[in-house]
Amino acid sequence: MKRFIIILLIVFFANHSGARSQNIEAEIRQLEQMEVQAILKKDTAMLTKLWDKNYVVNSPDNVIVLPGKTAVDRPVLKRSRIFFSREVERIIVRGNTVFSMGNETVVPEGDQTQSGQTVKRRYTNIWMKQEGQWKLVARHANIICQ
């Protein structure tokens, strides 16, 4: 009987952990799309909610954007885009840290390099739960060569 109870507890906690990961994955997927929309709309209030104050980016322009810049000061908001989409391919949950990986398509406009061209890139976003909220703490993105 004791062995049976132990097995039931193991199965229960394994299923509970899997359900928790699925809920976190759904939440991160939603946050990823919220960030895309905020970037397109240049919604600095939303980006300030999503980004950690020490958010670090290794950008596709081969520039590391260090902490200390507010959402308004980030280079990403100074650029205009005709189109920007993100496809999340994989979410990995490790406690209070989540890795989101996939691809993005961007069509820059104006005086930017590759203006009017479709740019494909790969990305990895790192989210951490802080004080009950998920914050984007780091990002790496690179352009896929044609």
Six-digit token string for 114: 């590759």
Q: What is the pLDDT of residues 25-74, one digit of tens each?
A: 999 999 999 999 999 998 989 999 999 999 999 988 888 888 876 666 77
Mean pLDDT in residue range 133-146: 92
Mean pLDDT in residue range 11-17: 53
Q: Does pLDDT of 7 surpass 60?
A: no
Looking at per-residue pLDDT, the higher value among 76 and 14 belongs to 76
Mean pLDDT in residue range 10-19: 56
Q: Does pLDDT of 14 surpass 60?
A: no
Q: What is the pLDDT of residues 81-132, one digit of tens each?
A: 789 999 999 999 999 999 999 999 999 888 777 888 899 999 999 999 999 9
DSSP label at 76? G
Q: What type of residue sits at position 25?
A: E
> Residue 119: which residues within 8 A CB-CB, separation 6 or more?
60, 105, 106, 107, 108, 143
Q: Which pairs with CB-CB distance under 8 Å and at least 24 residues apart come from 115-120?
A: 116/82, 118/83, 119/60, 119/143, 120/144
Closest CA to 82 of 20, 126, 39: 39
Output the pLDDT for position 17: 54
- Indicate the pLDDT class of residue 19, thresholds 50, 70 and 90: low
Q: What is the CATH number of domain 2-143?
A: 3.10.450.50
Strand partners, 143: 121
Domain ranges of the chain: 2-143
Strand partners, 105: 85, 120
